[in-house]
Chains A and B, each alone.
Chain A
Amino acid sequence: MKRTVNTKGIASNPNEQLLTIKPESLMPFPDRKEIDDNHSPKLLTKQQRNDYECSLDGFVALRMLKPKTREEENKLVQSFLEGLRKLLSKENNWTFLQPLLLSLDYCAKCQTCSEACPIYLASGRQEIYRPTYRSEVLRQIKEKYLDKRGKVLSKLTGNLIDLNWTTIARLAELSYRCTLCRRCAQICPIGIDNGLITREIRKLFSQEMGIAPKELHESGTVKQLRVGASTGLTPKALKDIIQFMEEEIEEKTGKKIRIPLDREGADILLIHNSGEFMSWPENPEAFAIIFEAAGLSWTLSSDLGGYEATNYGAWYDDVQLARIAYKQVEIARKLGVKKIVIGECGHAHKALTVTADRLLTREFNIPRESCMPLLEDIVLNGRNGVHLRRNDFLVTLHDPCNMVRLMGIVEPQRRILREISSRFREMEPHGVDNYCCGGGSGFAIMNSMNFPDWKTSIAGRMKVMQILETFEDALDPSIKKCVCTPCSNCKGQMRDLFDRYGLQERYNILYTGLAELIVNAMANE
C-alpha cells in the first residue's frame, strides 16, 4: 500500500527516505511488457548515503553534502530564510515577483493541475511529485516563518511545517523533480504556476545559498562564461570541428561548402547548442547545407560564447541567465549582423527570445528569432531552388515545451514536416498540450550519481509511452520510424530513453533533428 506523505512529513525523520520508489508502482506500459523490465534503480553506495543528502527519494541531483554540526545546519536555515525574504522583495526579485506572489498566495488547492503532470502520473501518483506539494511547502514556510502568524493562526491555516535542515535539503532536491514544462499552469483555472514556483525555489538556493546542480552551474553557466560553451568546446576546437563538418558534407553529399565563420556584416548570426557540434554534428551540417542552398547571408561565430546557444540560467538563476544573454547579443553586435537565429534548442529559443527580452535594452536589443520560420520559408517557398521530395518513412514530432507551449511556435515545424514527409503523424497530445520528454529544465544533462535512473524511469516515462502509442500499428522492426526532435536537450534525453528502453533495437525507432530530415529530403532529389 502506498504511504501518504503530507507536507508536514517533509521535516521529519531525516535518516529515512521520504519516498522509496518501487518499480512496480510506476505507471505501467500496457501491452508492452517486454520493455518494462522491472528495472531497479541504481542504489547509492553506503559512502554516498553517509555524505550526501538523499533523504527525499534516494536519488541525488544536487550532490549536497550533509552539514557536520548543528551550527552549520542553523546557518543554512537562516540563509534559506534570508533568501526567501529576498525572493519576496521588489529590490531583489523584480524579475519574477509579480508572477511568484500571484501563484504563491492564491492557490485554491483544487488539485486540477495534478493530472496534467507527467512526472506525477508516471511515478504512480507519488504525493511528493504532485505539482502542488513543493509549492505548498514553500507557502507554509513563508506564512509560518516570514508572515509570523503565530501558533494558533498557523494551525488554523494549515501551516504545520517545521523549518529545519531536513526540510530545506528535501525541498532543494524536490525542486529538481519537475521539468518546468508548465503543463500544470496551462490547465489551472485561476492561473497558478507551480512550475514558476519550482524555478523560484531553485533560484533561491542558487542566488542566496550557492546550491545548484554542478552540471547547470559550475560545469554549465560558469564554464560557458569562462570557456565559451557548457560542453567545454573552445574556439579552437570549434574551428577543428567545422573543418571536419565541411569534409563530412563533401563526403556525404559531394557538395563543397565553406561554412562561414565570424563573417562581419552577415545578415544572420546562427547560434547552435554546442552539444550539436559535439554529439550530433549532422545537425549544424544540415543547417549549413540548407542555408547555403538558399543563398542566405549568414555566419557562425567562434567568439567566446558566440557558438553556444544554451543558457542554463533559464532553469535556475536570473543573474546567470542575464549574463549569458548579454554575452550572446554582444557578440552579434560586434559582428554587425541584422539578427540572431537560434538553432534547434528549445530552452535557448525561450531564454534569448522571450525571457531575456526584458533584460536587453537599447543597443543590446538585437532582433532574435527561432530557426523554424526561416526553415519554413526556405522549404515551403522553394527559396533559391531548394526543392524537396518526401521522406517515405513514418515520422512523428516531439514538441519541445520551451519552443511550443512557452513560445507559441507550433505550426512552422509541422508545415515543414507535412511538406517533406509523406507519412507524418502526430503524437497525442501534441502542440501546446504536449508532454515533456523528461529532460527539461536541465535533466537531459544532469547525470549525478543515480539521477539518470530517475529521469529515464520517471521523468521520461510518459514520452516513451507516447512514442509507442503513436507507432502502435507499426512497431514491427522492419518498418522504419523516426521521432523528429527539434531540440538539442530533448535529443539528449531521447538518447538516454532510447538506450534505456531499447526503442531502436526493439522497434526500429530513430530520433533526429528537423534540419537533418529536410536535408534528407533534399538528398532524395
Chain B
Amino acid sequence: MWLQIVTYISFIFIIVASFIKVRRIAGQPLHLRWELYPVPHEEGREYGGSYLEKLNWWTKPRRRSFLGMLTFMMREVLWFEKCYRNNRGLWYFTYPFHIGLFLLGGWLLLLFLEAMAMILGVTESIAWVMTIHYLTLAAGAAGFALSTIGSIGLLVKRSIDANLRLYSSPTDYFNLGFILTIVLSGVCSWYFFDPVFASAREFMKSLITFGPVLTNPAMTVSIILLCLFMIYMPFTHMMHWVTKYFAYHRVCWDDAPNLAGNNIQNKLEELLNQPISWSGPHIQTGKKWKEVVAEES
C-alpha cells in the first residue's frame, strides 16, 4: 500500500507544482512587445511576414491562422524541427530521448485504460481492448528502447563534446543519469520479470482500487525513482516542457497590437501608475512610470 501512497503523493506534487509554475509565469505583468518572426499564425508565415506589411494595418482585419500555429507546433513537438535543422548532432540523441519519454507517458496512460477495463470487467476479446493491449506493448517497448538510447547518447555527448561540457554542471549529468536509471530499472523489470507488462498493469489497477499488489524488485525501484523524480523535476530547468509554451506564445508570437478598446490599454494604465525605483542618475526615483516618461531626463 505504501508504494501506491508514495505514487499518489508524487503525482499530486508534480501536478500542483506545475500548476503553481504555470500560474506564476502566466501571472507576470504584461510586457512590452518582443516578437520574433516568423510568427506561425500570421498570413505571411511562409516567409516570416506580419500584418505590419499592410498599408494602414490598423484598419485591416487581422487574420490569425490556428492551423499555421498548430502545424508549427506539431513539427516541433513530433520532429524537433529546430534542433533537426540547426543542431543535427544533438538531434540524433535528444530526439529519441524525448520521443521515448513521450511514448512512456503514453504507455502509462494506456496501462491506466487497460486497468480501468479490467476493473469494469470488460473482456480482452473486445477489439478496442485488444488494440489498447497491443498498443501498450508497442509504446512500452519503443519508449524504453528510445529513451535508453537517447539518455545514454546525451550523457556521452555532454561528456565528450567540448561545446556542451564547458557549460555542463554536475546537476546536468545527474539529471540525465537520474532519468537513465529510472528507464533502465524499468527495462530490467520488463525484460526479466514482466514481458507483457502484466505486473505494471496490476500496479496501475491497484492505484485505482487500493488493493494489494505484487511488484518485482526492479519495478519497485523504478516506481520509487520515478516518484522521487516527479518531486525533484519542478525545481529544475527540466520544466522547460511547460515554459516553452510561454516562451513561444507569450513572447515570440505575441504580436497583438494595442488598439483602442482592447484590454491592453487598461492593463497598461495600471502598470504605468506604478512607481519606479531604479537609481540611475537620469531616473526620478519614486515617481510613477507615466510621470517619469513624460519628463525629460
Contacts and interface: CB of A to CB of B under 8 A. Distances in A.
A155 B180 CA distance: 23
B175 to A, nearest CB: 10
Interface stretch (B41-49, B111-119, B140-148): B41-49
B231 interface: no
B48 A431 contact: yes
A158 B172 CA distance: 9
A383 B9 CA distance: 70
Interface residues of A, number: 97
Given A108-B240, A209-B280, A372 B37 contact: no
A106 B279 CA distance: 29
A159 B169 CA distance: 8
B153 interface: no
A191 B170 CA distance: 24
Interface in A80-130: 82-83, 86, 90-92, 94-99, 101-103, 105-112, 114-116, 127
B276 A110 contact: no
A217 B283 CA distance: 13
Contact of B31 (A7, A95, A182, A226): A95
A359 B268 contact: yes
A477 to B, nearest CB: 34
Interface string B238-249: 011001101110
B34 A96 contact: yes
A216 interface: no
A86 B272 CA distance: 16
Contacts of B177: none
B133 interface: no
A86 B277 contact: yes
B247 A410 contact: no
Contact of B33 (A94, A110, A358): A358
Interface string A120-156: 0000000100001000100000000000000000011
B239 A408 contact: no
Interface stretch (A244-252, A399-407, A460-468): A399-407
Contact of A94 (B251, B274, B282): B274
A319 interface: yes
Nearest to B289: A322
B86 A112 contact: yes
Contacts of B125: none
Contacts of B289: 322
Given A91-B277, A191-B252, A372 B53 contact: yes
Contacts of B167: 7, 109, 111, 132, 136, 158
Contacts of B123: none
A362 interface: yes
Interface in A355-405: 355-362, 365, 367, 369-370, 372-374, 376-377, 404-405
Contact of B283 (A4, A186, A207, A226): A207
B160 interface: no
Contacts of B260: 365
Contacts of A322: 289, 292-293
Using C-beta atoms within 8 Å of the partner chain, give the interface range for chain B. Answer: 35 or more
Nearest to A115: B86
Contacts of B296: 225-226, 323
Given A107-B237, A156-B171, A191 B53 contact: no
Given A323-B296, A373-B53, A105 B237 contact: yes
A192 interface: yes
B36 A109 contact: no
Interface stretch (B76-84, B181-189, B206-214): B76-84
Nearest to A7: B167
A99 B240 contact: no
Given A108-B240, A187-B82, A225-B296, A358 B31 contact: yes
A193 interface: yes
Contact of B36 (A91, A95, A132, A406): A406
A355 B251 CA distance: 12
B162 interface: yes
A188 interface: yes
Interface stretch (B12-20, B54-62, B63-71, B195-203): B54-62
B278 A86 contact: yes
12 contacts: A96-B31, A103-B247, A106-B239, A127-B166, A155-B170, A186-B36, A317-B280, A339-B56, A358-B258, A359-B32, A406-B37, A409-B52
Given A105-B243, A156-B174, A319-B282, 10 more contacts: A91-B274, A196-B34, A207-B278, A225-B296, A322-B289, A323-B295, A353-B52, A358-B30, A361-B268, A405-B48
